[in-house]
Amino acid sequence: MRKAKTYWLKKIRIRHVNLQEIRGIHLESTAQLIMNQLLMQSGSTVSLDVRSRFPGGRNVGGKYSMADHRVTMYLDEIKKQCLSLFGSLEVFPQVLRIVFAHELGHAEDASLKELSDLLDACDSELERKRIALRIEENAWEYAKTLIPEEDQSLMQTVVYYSLKSYRDAIAGEIA
């Protein structure tokens, strides 16, 4: 009896985890729940890959690969976006949901194949930028219908900054 008790006590190991680590684990499981729920809701057959950092140092929160019919989400990049746009990780669940809804928008865009073929064939730089903007706008249209209950001011901020570089590129070309 005594021996068994000693054995049991020895089995308990306390690992020291810091608050940062607990928060990270919490954010990651929250992220999985949010994405699973939204994926089901969309009815999309897309496959999902979750990573930390976008390779090459660009701050990209998610991408869709048409060839693999796969969305890859980069959680650390979304955290960075939360901090730079809203100054806090408090909005991480909402921003992740918004970005993921956008990627699902690419996956479910019936005209993506045609638009991306046009993009490949196009030799006018301005026209290419217009097509690229159109692809992004399509994905946002889908996102808005998938999560209509999402906080509108938060949604508008994310949409605005995501489209800004595309719009600026076109404006630059015209000017």
Q: Which is nearer to Zn ion, 24 or 144 (CB)?
A: 144
User: Which of 29/165 has CB closer to Zn ion?
Assistant: 165
Site for Zn ion in 18-57 (CB under 5 A): none
**Strand ranges of the sheet holding 70-74, from the earlier edge strand across to the other edge:** 47-51, 70-74, 62-65
Nearer to Zn ion, 92 or 142 (CB): 142
47 — phi, psi (to 5°)? -95, 155
Show the site string, 59-98: x = touches Zn ion by CB under 5 A, - = not: ----------------------------------------
- Region binding Zn ion by CB under 5 A among candidate stretches 1-9, 17-25, 52-60, 135-143: 135-143
In the bound state with Zn ion, the residue whose beta carbon lies nearer, of 6 and 156, is 156
Cα distances from 19 to residues 16, 76, 78, 96, 140, in angstroms, run: 10, 17, 20, 21, 35
Smallest gap from Cβ 117 to Zn ion, in A, equals 17
- 3-class SS string, 96-115: HHHHHHHHHHHHCCCCHHHH
Please give the residues from 136 up to 155 whose contact with Zn ion meets the rule CB under 5 A: 136, 139
Least distance to Zn ion from the beta carbon of 121, Å?
Answer: 20
Stretch that binds Zn ion, among 27-35, 82-90, 109-117, 130-138 (CB under 5 A): 130-138
User: How is residue 90 annotated by DSSP?
Assistant: T
Residue of 71, 67, 83, 27 lying closest to 46 (CA atoms): 71
Chain residues in the site for Zn ion (CB under 5 A): 136, 139
